[in-house]
Amino acid sequence: MKKALILIILSILFIQFQAQEKKQLYLEESLKSIIGNHQFSQNSFRLSQRIDQFKVKDSLVTFQLRNKRNNGFLKDRGKIVQFDLKNKELLWEFVISYVYEHTVNIGDFFYYYTQTNSYQLDPISGTKIRKLATNYIYIDTAKSIGLGYPIKIFSDNSNRLEAVDLTKGEKIWQREIQRNGIWSNVEKVNDSSILVLANGLEKINLYNGEGWAHTSQKNELNAGARTAAIIGGVALAGIFGGIMVDVALPTPSKNIPNRPNNFINEDSIYYAALSNRLIKSDNKGNELWSADVMESDLQLSELMKHKNKLILTYAGQFFDGKRMVSRKRPKLSVVDANNGKILFDNDLKPRSYYSLEDKYIYNDSLLLVYPSELAYFDLKNNHISHQRKIEGAEFKKVITKKIFVKNDTKFELLNEPNSFYIQNEKNKVYKVNSSLEVTKNYNSPLLFYQYLEYKNTALFVNINSSQSYLADQLGNILLELPPINQAYFKNDKLYYAYKNYFMEVNLSTYLNNN
């Protein structure tokens, strides 16, 4: 009996020790220090896993912890952690399987979805406030209204879009909108309405669900007004398998699809790529014209506009996360924005490639970037005007941000007109002139771009993400930082993540003195 009692006491002490050790894990690296020649105070926190995403609201920071596999893909399991920065206290955490579960954290609302049950959580305690009946895909924090489809355990194919009062959990209205399309573009057009590009182009009034629709069915070219059944009486953010974040530049993830933009709003005139045609609509829902282009690849194409021409590009291969869903020849379509006349609609035929890596509008031409070839498409005369083969280049993307070179104490702007900077697979950077000739190449450790700007400071990040610096508005280096996963400025503070470390740098003393 005594032995059993001793074992129980030892077990309790061990559990208490483990709990204390677990909590200290988040506090033991907390510190304040003077950095560089300026009064920058910093708090540093160490977490148990790699920080994949984070979001700061007031004194609370929510972490999505997720390690990577050896192949670079994110692991399926991780943690959601809620931390109090003011009191330096771990509030709560739980293990999450990102394959079957996800969270939505926006404004004052925190939601946790599983395969069987979903809940609204209290952000302070992590306790369940109410069980959810709706899977939200759009949330308007200013109106406290969420839009989504009903949660059904055994059937997930309802097309009944529901609006819910988030403060009470009560349904406001419902309306039939096909859910087999992707909510790839959502834009708030005024105080009460949003435009959704899904299976078709839909305008939705947040208060009553009314609006209009252009569907993807050819026999419904002008679907006209849509009504909603009334049940009761800020910016767009993306929801993915994990935390919803609203930072300026979230860290790219190999598990998150990078779907192209195929919607343009220009002074209440809308251009949208539906699944079967490109349309132009006014703000009352009148379809002004439609163009049959791109065949089945339309919704995987990116839409751009240059002067009076609409440009659709299909990259040739498309990955939805880990899975390739399309592999064909790259395609290009050019349509007159005034009348819908098709000016060009054909496959692009580089010599041996299925992949259009990037494109860039330069003067009246479209620069086309293939792995080892560059080409111009003349947007005035609608034809390929120039091509140049560059063996072994492995081109990946055109760098559209301003490029800087770092010397010992300062960043200098590379400002050379009529030149492009193109990055390759190995983070090497080529300078290309307007004749598509490579005139110089750089090793990526020398080149930086401005990741974020805040008041009279800027965060500079190396092109291959191996170095980061805080500098003033003239490019003078203030702080050297580690390679960052994600960062943003808020309330005179810089927040950034590096591996499993989270940093809070107070800039107020420097900003007040400069």
What confidence score (pLDDT) does residue 287 get?
Answer: 94
Q: How far is CA 159 from CA 178, 179, 222, in A?
A: 5, 6, 20
Which tens digit of pLDDT belongs to each residue from 387-430? 999 988 899 999 988 889 998 899 999 878 888 899 988 888 99
- What pLDDT does 301 receive? 87
Percent of the chain predicted with pLDDT > 90 = 40
- pLDDT (tens digit per residue) in 493-503: 999 999 999 99
Q: Are the beta carbons of 274 and 291 closer than 8 angstroms?
A: no
CA distance 92 to 123: 9
pLDDT of 20 reads: 43
Residue 72, phi then psi, degrees to nearest 5: 95, -15
Give the whole-angstrom CA distance, residue 326 versus residue 320. Answer: 9
Amino acid 458: pLDDT = 94
Q: Which pLDDT score is estimated for 72?
A: 75
The amino acid that residue 367 corresponds to is: L
206, 194 Cβ separation under 8 angstroms = yes
> Hey, where are the domains in the chain?
252-358
Least confident interval from 11-25, 38-52, 247-261, 305-319: 247-261
Q: Please give the mean pLDDT across all residues of the chain.
A: 80
Name the pLDDT band for 140 (thresholds 50, 70, 90): confident
Domain covering 252-358 in this structure, CATH number: 2.40.10.480
Name the band, by pLDDT with cuts 50, 70 and 90, for residue 244. Answer: very low
pLDDT band of residue 114 (cuts 50, 70, 90) is: confident
Residues 363-372 have a mean pLDDT of 93
Percent of the chain with pLDDT over 70: 79
pLDDT 10s digits, 176-235: 887 665 576 788 888 888 888 877 888 999 999 999 988 865 434 334 455 555 554 322
Token representation of residue 39? 């009064």
328 against 255, higher pLDDT: 328
CB distance 402 to 449 below 8 Å: yes
Residue 256 pLDDT > 70, yes or no?
A: no
Q: Encode burial over 25-62: b for 16+ CB neighbours within 10 A, e otherwise.
A: ebeebeeeeebeeeebbbbebebebbbbbbbbeeebbb
Q: How far apart are CA 181 and CA 434, in angstroms?
A: 40
Task: Indicate the helix (H) or strand (E) that contains 194.
Answer: strand 193-197
Alpha-carbon span 434 to 302, nearest angstrom = 24
- Of residues 343 and 184, more confidence is placed in 343
- Give the pLDDT score at 133: 86
- 466 pLDDT band, cuts 50/70/90, is confident
Q: What is the pLDDT of residue 431?
A: 92
